[in-house]
Amino acid sequence: MKILTEGMDAWKVPGHDQQGLAAYYNEGTPPGGFLLCVLENDLKGACSRADEMNKRALWDIVNYLYNVFPMGSWGSKEIVSHWLAYHADRRAKLAQEKSDVKKE
């Protein structure tokens, strides 16, 4: 399942966070500091890094994650670390496969 930015407006996820969340979920791209803290369930870090819009939208972002993202993709530093590592391994394998095909 791909996460698309189009559905995030209905959940009131701020526009400047949508690409970061989609890239994190779909490709394992680490998001910026605020979103990383939200994904890691680090309330103190998220609040200290939030801009004014994200301060007002924090509940909406967490509500979106809770209802849309699978639990294995967010919720603690360990889970986020595993999610990022899984996608990094996947990218490395795809790159290797492409390299192997070019050699043939």
Q: What is the CB-side half-sphere exposure of residue 13 using CA atoms within 13 A?
A: 25
Please write the tens of the pLDDT for every residue from 53-80. 999 999 999 999 999 999 999 999 999 9
pLDDT at 104: 66
Whether residue 61 contacts residue 38, with contact meaning beta carbons closer than 8 Å, is answered with: yes
Low-confidence stretches of the chain (pLDDT beneath 50): none
44 three-class SS: helix
